[in-house]
Amino acid sequence: MNKKITVDVLMGIAIILEFLSLPILIHEIVGIGLLFLIILHLKFNKNYFKAIPKGKYNLKRTIDLIVNMGLLISLSITIISGILSSQKSLKSLKIGNHKVSHIHKSSSIFSLIFLGLHLLTTRKKLLREMKKSH
């Protein structure tokens, strides 16, 4: 299995874990791990970002961009609010704020919706990558 697919599979597992009823410390540790996996995923797909200002936009490409930017924005809000509402793993930073947890929960639901749309719009590419890795 190539690195790109491995990161995608690990991200999927981490996202599923994040929506289970885990002890808060485990949730936070998995969330931090997920952040690093997302960074790796973005690094592996940097050519997508380079191509955004290039070429013409048809309906499919426009929808892909909207979905991907929605996912990026909602994940960014989820990550930032998760860090700000950390109760255990980042407690020593003295940045915990329980009021932000509502934003964290709401943005994580939006992230899940955009993730579903992202998987729908990239399914052919994902399947191609999976076949190539075998």
* pLDDT at 77 (0 to 100): 96
pLDDT in tens, 18-46: 989 889 889 999 999 999 999 999 999 99
Q: List the single range of 2-11, 90-99, 112-121 with lowest mean pLDDT.
A: 90-99
User: Where does the pLDDT of residue 129 fall: very low under 50, low under 70, confident under 90, or very high at 90 and above?
Assistant: confident
What is the separation, in whole angstroms, between the first and last Cα of the chain? 7
Burial of 86 (0-12, 13-18, 19+ CB in 10 A): buried
Q: Is the pLDDT of residue 106 over 90?
A: yes
* Secondary structure string (H, E, C) spanning 51-119: HCCCCCCCHHHHHHHHHHHHHHHHHHHHHHHHHHCCCCCCHHHCCCCHHHHHHHHHHHHHHHHHHHHHH
Closest C-alpha to 18, from 76, 96, 98, 104: 104
Please tell me the pTM assigned to this model. 0.85
**pLDDT, averaged across the chain:** 89
User: Where does the pLDDT of residue 1 fall: very low under 50, low under 70, confident under 90, or very high at 90 and above?
Assistant: low
pLDDT in tens, 48-81: 999 999 999 999 999 999 999 999 999 999 999 9
Closest C-alpha to 121, from 65, 51, 76, 78: 65
Q: pLDDT above 70 covers what percent of the chain?
A: 90
